[in-house]
Structure 1
Amino acid sequence: MAKSEVSKADKKAARAARRQASKAQRDQMWQALKIQSKQDKLLWPLMIGALVLSAVAFFLLGSLWGGQWWMLPLGVLTGLMLAMVIFSRRVQNTVFAKAEGQPGAAAWALDQLRSGWRVNQAVAATTSFDAVHRVVGRCGIVLVGEGQPHRLKPLMTQEKKKVARVVGDTPIYELIVGDEEGTTPEQVPLRKLNRRLTRYPMNINRAKVDALDTRLRALGTKTGIQNQMPKGPLPQGAKVRNMQRSARRRG
C-alpha cells in the first residue's frame, strides 16, 4: 500500500515537472517571438501569411472531393509548422547578422554543427584575434580562418603543412569567413559557413574521422594566445581591446 502511494506521488510529481518545463519552454518561445518581432517587421505578416495560405490551399484541395472540412485542420497544422520554420530561420538570420565580423563568431558558428563533425577551435591564432579553427568530418580536414585575410593566409599555410604531415593523403580544405569572391583561400559569409562545409564530398568514413581527430589533437597544447580566443561573438570596443592586451601579455 505504501509503495503504491509513493509511486502515485512520484508520477504526480513527474507530471507536474513536465508541465512546468513545457510552460517554461512556451514562455521562452513567446519572449523570443516578441523580441524578434520588434526587430523584424515582416515576421508576423510572413507567419500569418503561411498559416492562411496553407489553410486555404488544403481547404480548396479538399473541396475537390467534398472533404474540405476534413482537410482544413490539416492545413492549419501545416501552416503552424511553416510559421515556426519561418520564425526559426529569421531568428537565426538575425543572430548571424549581429555576430558577423565579431571576434569569435566563426568559432560560435562551428559549434552549431550537427554531430559527425569534430571541431577544435583556435589551433592557431594571433594577438589581433585572427584565428584558424580545425574541423574534421567525412570530407576530411577543413581549416576555417576568421579575421584579416592578409594575416590569416600565412597562419593557415603553416597549419596546413603541420596537418598534412599527420593525415597523409586525406583532403585538406581551407575557408576564410568573409564576403569577397574569387579569392584563395575561398571566402564564405558567416551565415553560410556551416552549409558550405556540408557541401564538400564525403571522402572518409566515420571511423577515420575519429582516428584523425585523435591524432590531430595530439599535435600539441594551445598557447596562451590561443586559450584567450573568444568562444563566441564579442561586441567591438573596450572589452575586445582589453582581451587583446591580455592575450599579448600571455602570448
Structure 2
Amino acid sequence: MAQRGSAPEKRPGFFSQIKSLFKFTREVYPWLPWLQIAILVAGVLVGVILGYLIPPLQVWSIILWGITGLMLGVLAAMILMTQLSTKAMYKKIDGMPGAVGHVLSTSLGRSWQASDTPVGVNPKSQDAVYRAVGRGGIVVVGEGSRGRLTRLIKDEKTRSLRVAQGVPVTVLHVGHGDDDTPIDQLAKTIKKLPKAIDKTTMAAVIKRIDSVSQSLSSLPIPKGIDPLKARAPRPR
C-alpha cells in the first residue's frame, strides 16, 4: 500500500503568534513588558474613575467600568506592540544584504510590483540593485556602497528608459547618508511618488521590462531576508 502524503504543516495558533511577536519585539525593546503593564494599569484606573464619576454609583458599575478599562488597555498594548514590532524588524534588517528586496516585495501594496530578487548584483561585494514598477513609474533602488553601485544603477536606469519611454525613472539609494533613504522610510518614499501612469500602462511596462530582463539565476544573488530570522511574526 502506498504511503499517504505527509500531513500539511500546522500553522501556529493565535496565542502562539502573539507570544512570538512579543519575544521578537522585546529583543529590541527590553522595556516593552513594563510599558504594557503600565498601559493595563492605567486602563483599569481610568475605568474605575469613570465608574465613580458616572451615576449611579454602585459596586457593580465600578467593576464593569474597570473591566472595560482593562479591555481597552489590552487593545492599546497590542497596538503598541504591533507598531514596535515593525520598527524592530527594520532595526534588525538594516544593513543586511537583501533587506531592500524584503521591503519592496512585502510593503508596497497592490499599486506596485517588485521582487525580493535584485535585477543587478556585484557577486563579490553583494551590492545590489532592485526595481519596482507602479503608478509612480519605475523606481531603481541601490543597496550597498554608493560608489560600487554607480555602474549597476546606470545600466538599469538606461535599460528602463529604453524599454519604457516616457515613464519617469526614480533612483533611490538605501543608507544613512545625506542623500540616502533609510530602510524604514523606503516604502513610504516610493508610495509618495506622484502617479504618472495608469494601470494599463503599468501592466505594459512590466511586460516589456520582464521580456528584456536578463536572467541572474547563475549569480550568487541574495534573495531577500529570511522571514523567520528578520521579519516580525504577526498574529492572524
TM-score normalised by structure 1 residue count: 0.71
Looking at structure 2, the residues matched to 44 and 82 of structure 1 have their Cα atoms a distance apart, in angstroms, of: 13
Per residue, is there more helix in 1 or in 2?
A: 1
The SS at the match of 2:119 is: strand
Task: State the alpha-carbon separation in 1 of the partners of residues 13 and 184 from structure 2.
Answer: 29
Name the count of aligned residue pairs: 209
Unaligned runs of 5+ in 1: 1-19, 235-251
1:99 aligns with 2:93: yes
Q: Distance in 1 between matches of 2:201 and 2:55?
A: 57
1:119 counterpart residue number:
114
Q: Which moved more, 1:157-166 or 1:46-55?
A: 46-55
Alignment deviations for residues 170-225 of structure 1 (CA, whole Å, 9 cap, x no partner): 221111110001x3xxx111122112212212222233322221121111332355
Q: Is the 8 A contact 2:140 2:169 kept in 1?
A: yes
1:4-43 equivalences under 5 Å are 24-43=13-32
1:147-190 CA-partner distances (Å, limit 9, x unpaired): 11001122112211110112222221111110001x3xxx1111
Q: Is the 8 A contact 1:46 1:86 kept in 2?
A: no
TM-superposed deviation, 1:78: 3.2
1:139 aligns with 2:109: no
Is the counterpart of residue 229 in structure 1 residue 224 in structure 2? no
Alignment check: 8 A CA contact 1:55 1:72 kept: yes
Q: Match for residue 108 of structure 1? A: 102
Residue 37 to residue 168, structure 1, CA distance change in 2 (3 Å): same
Within 5 A, what are the aligned runs for 1:1-251? 24-57=13-46, 66=55, 72-113=66-107, 114-120=109-115, 121-127=117-123, 128-181=125-178, 183=179, 187-224=180-217, 227-233=219-225
With 60-69 and 72-81 compared, the bigger mean Cα shift is at 60-69
Counterpart CA distance in 1 for 2:52 and 2:193 is 46
Query: Which piece of structure 1 moves more, 35-44 or 210-219?
Result: 35-44
| In 1, Cα distance between equivalents of 2:95 and 2:31 | 25
1:65 Cα deviation from its structure 2 partner: 5.1
Query: In 1, are the aligned partners of 2:137 and 2:197 still within 8 Å (CA)?
Result: yes
Shift of 1:60: 5.3
- The 8 Å contact of residues 125 and 132 in structure 1, kept in 2 or not, is answered as yes
Q: Identify which range, 41-50 or 143-152, moves more after superposition.
A: 41-50
What is the match of residue 9 of structure 1? none
**How far did residue 59 of structure 1 move?**
5.8
Following TM superposition, by how much is the alpha carbon of 1:108 offset from its aligned partner in structure 2, in angstroms?
A: 1.4
Note the aligned Cα RMSD (angstroms).
2.7
Instruction: Check conservation: 1:176, 1:188, Cα contact below 8 A.
Output: yes
Shift of 1:39: 4.6
Distance 1:228 1:201 in 2: 35
